[in-house]
Each structure stands twice: as C-alpha cells, then as structure tokens.
Amino acid sequence: MTVFELQQMYRQGKTGPSEVVRELVKKVEVWEPAIHSLAWFDPEWLTRQAAALEKGTGPKGPLWGVPVVVKDNICVEGVPVTCASRILKGFRPPYNATVIERLQSAGALLAGMANMDEFAFGSSCEHSCYGPTRNPWDLSRVPGGSSGGSAASVAASIAPLALGSDTGGSIRQPASFCGVVGLKPTYGRVSRYGLIAFASSLDQIGPLARTVEDAALLSQVIFGFDQRDSTSGDLPVPDYLQQIKTGVKGLKVGLPKECFGKGLDAGVKTELEKAFEQCRALGIELREISLPRTDYAIPTYYVLATAEASSNLARFDGVQYGYRFPNASNLMELYAKTRGEGFGPEVKRRIILGTFVLSSGYYDAYYGHALKVRTLIKEDFDRAFEQVDCILTPTAPTPAFRLGEKLQDPLTMYLSDIFTISINLAGLPALSVPCGFTPEGLPVGLQWIGRPFQEEVLFRGAYAYQQAAGWHTKRPPEPKGASS
C-alpha cells in the first residue's frame, strides 16, 4: 500500500499498527534473504512501538502507524547505528536525530536500519560491512548507493517510506535504479542534527517513497528549522499536499544539452524521450538550456567531498566509541590499528585523497580551486533559472549495473553520479521519479531540479507526470521460491 491507502485502512478500522507490523515482518522474511536491504531489524522493537501507538489516547499525527525505514547513518536512540562500518560496531546513540524526533511526533513506526555504502561512500551499496544489497528488480544488480538499502526496502514493499541521505546523489540514484521516488531537499531544508557526517557542506537527509504524494507527506514532517543545526534554513514549510495538484500548464522546464549526449545509455534515452512527450502533452513548455560547466562537477566534488570526509572521519579512533583494537602497546598503534582494521577500502581511499588535497602545498591548488569552480557551477544554475521554472535531466546515465561490475574501477563508479553531483554542489533541491523501464526490465529515473527552497514546484511537476505515466504502480516480482 501507499501511505494514503494505509491511512484510509486505519480510518475505516480495517487494520491497526500491530497487524501492519505482522505483515511487515512477513515481507522481511520473504525479501531479506534475497536483497539484504536492512542492516538491523528487530520485530520485538517494532511490535512495542505498535502497541504504544494503539494505547495512545492523544491526537494521531500525520504518519500515525506508517512504517519508515531509516538509513544506518541517522541516529536513533538506543539502536545500533554503524554507518555500515566495522569501526562503529556496537555503537548505540544516546540521542535521536531531529528527523527521528519529528517522525516519532508524527506517529511513525521506525521499521529498522537500512544497509548502505560504508559512511555513505559509494554508488552501489556494495561497500558495506554487512555485505551488498541487491536490486529487487534484478537480484544480479546493485540497488544504487549510498542509500541502496532504503531504496530497495521501499521497492520491495517492506515499508512505504524510508529516509536516506544525499551527498552527491545518494538518494536519487538508488531511487532511479529501484524504480521509486527520491528527493534531495535544498541544503538547509532538513536538519542534519544526528546525521553522521560525510561532507558537511553537501549532506542532506531526504525521503524515499513509492509515490510523489507519499514523498511530499514525509517531507512535510521532516522539513523545517532546527536551532541545533547552524546550517538549517529558518523558512516556513509550505503545504505541499495542498499545492501538489494545482496543475502544470505553462510550467517552463529546461533540458540541459550537456546531459543528453555521449555516455547516456540508449534504453535510458528512449524512456526519457517518451517522458518529455508526456510532459508536453500536460502543457509543460520544454526548452533547451545550457549548463556549460557540467563536466567539472565530478572532479570538483571529489576534491571537496573527500576533503570534508577526511576531516569528519578523524573522530573515529577507537577511544570513545565503536571498535577498539585490543592490546595496543601505545597510542599511535591504537589509532593506526583501529582505523586500519575498522575502515573499509573505499573509506580509506577517500580519507587519503581528502588528506592529500588539504595538505600543505596542495591546499590552494586543489581545495581552493575546487571552491571557486563550485561557485561557477552554482552560477550556471542561477542563469538557467532566469529562463525556466525547473530543469529535467536523467537521474543516472545508465540503469542498475551488475554486482561487482565497477568495484575494481572507482573512477567508472564515480561517473554514475554525473547528473546528480552538481545539484549538491549548488545546494539545490532535486527529485527522481520513475519514467519507464529499459528493454531488460530495469527502472529508469527522471530528475526534476528546482530553485532553492522551491520543492513544491518539483512535487507539482513530478506528480502531474506520475499520474499521466503510471510507472509508480509497477512492483518487482517476489523472489523465486518465496511465498507471502
């Protein structure tokens, strides 16, 4: 069910949170052996939450009784949160992230912690101490990353909603690969308090859902100012559900010429062209635009993001929490052995890169220049938005690739985020919505990009397209041999 279908069942008295939890556990039993989307799941914990909701006598919040899977880098008090890394083995946060507080106030059921690329470093959900997550549409393929577990759990109908985090495409690319809706909000729209940091100037928490309406509802709950996050925007949150159905006739949408050339998979391109025709039929005006510095986005990102990651991950040293190397003879050995054994290869690679670009003699040549190019990339978007209301691009240049296909070639892996990274550099909102399937039966995503703090335009455009196209109604078949 979608969130709204589930809520209607609740209103009609046809089900209750405890029954929903029992069905969710059945779904986990069917799907998890095949896809491994969850890093931690405790049916008893979930059952206790449902019982508490049913005993409550106060007003019911907007997500009352709705299961939400949480990415394993968002702090939930008393629950194992590890960023899919050995170095945080056994860590249980003593507090809740702001988004978790807001979910609980809205009556949501926290359904478990989703698998991810270690510390959100990856585009395939293969860099995890728990092992890889698989794509529900094709178990030989990746679900995308780093929020692959969140996207896969929604695609497999384990839960109707999930939280992910997006630093360079980590919500949108998995949403595209798994055929679900994923939103990277404007930087500052959602509090980062309680999100274990990757790159603090780029990270943003956001929703994954089966439909645009469900994503809008979850956004309504988690958006808003938080004084505990100094980068949080103190702006009102519009009523997205009221605005979502107001129509799109006359909406001006840009198609960047740089995003539809070399490197775009033929099957993806075919589905995008069909989507553009449907947009025109809805009364949307499409026009060609240019984002001339698109090619600089990936090198700029991998300087800035690794530099910030190197700084942020310095705190994981085995002293206060998580994994600690036993029997170290001195402090340096404790640090070196703990970090050497606790971090995986992709995390080490990015720490080394980030430390290098911040080092004496290279800081201005790499980090300083990257900051300047980031400003130029943002200016490209500023000029584009003088002509159009929003921008459409592919979410990813290809459909989901096979497990192991790009593990030995990090640069090729990094290129899978070519259409998403620039949005994080510019701090913009962007939403991926399903727009078809390749001849191999793999989902394709269409990315809607908006002006800062104008998520309502994205919801409105994507909802109109979704209703016309109908791709959100498709579901992957259950794994062979499974029975629900």
Active site residues: 71, 146, 170
Q: How far is 97 from 192, CA to CA, in rounded Å?
A: 8
What is residue 447's three-state secondary structure? strand
∠ at Cα 214 (211, 218), nearest 5°?
Answer: 140
Could you tell me the two tokens for 425? 């550099």
Question: Strand 161-166 vs strand 67-71: parallel, antiparallel, or unpaired?
Answer: parallel
Q: How far is 429 from 460, CA to CA, in rounded Å?
A: 13
Please, are residues 333 and 356 in contact by the beta-carbon 8 Å criterion?
A: no
Other beta carbons within 10 Å of 480: 7
Contacts 24+ apart (CB under 8 A), 476-481: 476/136, 476/137, 476/155, 476/156, 476/179, 478/30, 478/31, 479/30, 479/31, 479/33, 479/34, 479/35, 479/139
Task: Compute, in degrees rounded to 10, the torsion defined by CA atoms 29, 31, 36, 40.
Answer: -40
Please, are residues 233 and 196 in contact by the beta-carbon 8 Å criterion?
A: no
Q: How far is 259 from 422, CA to CA, in rounded Å?
A: 12
